[in-house]
Amino acid sequence: MEFDTRIGVSEPDKIYVHGYDLTEDLIGEITLADMAFLGAAHRKPSQQESKMLNACMVAICEHGFTPSSISARLTYLGAPEAVQGAVAAGLLGAGSVYLGAMEYVAQMLQDGLKKVEDENDVQIIAAQIMEERAKKGLQLPGFGHPIHRPIDPRTPKLFALAEELGFSGKHIALMNEIHRQFCEQKGKALTLNVAGAIGAVLSDMNLHFSVVKSFAVAARAVGLIAHIVEEIETSRKDCMAQKLYDFVEENTNYKNTKSARDKGE
């Protein structure tokens, strides 16, 4: 039985990755984000593509205490011998609220543009997308943020960079128009968050929506390293995960004791 792959092939003195000589063409020549692009597009990125993708991945690499970083810390607390388990636990938090929304944004934009003949009439396309999702009871992905209101500072930065590098195309234009109409509909300024921005940018880089979340997961894996290292560098009793665990245990025991006392047990 034979198993064919175009990804990695090894010979006694050579390693080929996507057809490139690993030691001669890739090591020391491209970035980790470039490798991610190579895996998705089967070619090395241009200088502009490299800069844009690296910027997108840096933008979502780290954002403080989120479910993913907390999960990674708690898992490391319970299994310090398995750093990979802590990283894996953190990545499991990449869903529709955190990180995963950019995939849904990309799909919304890409599918919306496929359904029309005139891709330049973004006002009509945006209205159609919003109406269709409202009828189906679906939320508009890419909007809102618990802290950044009414502007996510990463969004204008990424859109400006996309304009500079030649990636500000029909998907970004459509996302901006959806944002405008959504704010008008709600009668207030709504945050177009980084997931919305990246979903649009990667779509204008001709990346299919099905791989968009992969870049988010890869970026977050890098960001989780810092959270694990901070746990390692702090004494076990003073680390964030232990404090969180102690807080939950203390309050849970208090409530259980109070409940038993109130019942006369």
Q: Is the pLDDT of residue 254 over 70?
A: no
Burial class (CB in 10 A: 0-12, 13-18, 19+), 204: buried
Q: What span, in angstroms and rounded, lies between the C-alpha atoms of 242 and 247?
A: 8
Tens of pLDDT, residues 148-207: 999 999 999 999 999 999 999 999 999 999 999 999 999 999 999 999 999 999 999 999
Tens of pLDDT, residues 124-165: 999 999 999 999 999 999 999 989 999 999 999 999 999 999
Tens of pLDDT, residues 54-82: 999 999 999 888 889 999 999 999 999 99
Q: What span, in angstroms and rounded, lies between the C-alpha atoms of 191 and 128?
A: 21
Strand partners, 19: none
* DSSP-assigned letter for residue 9: E
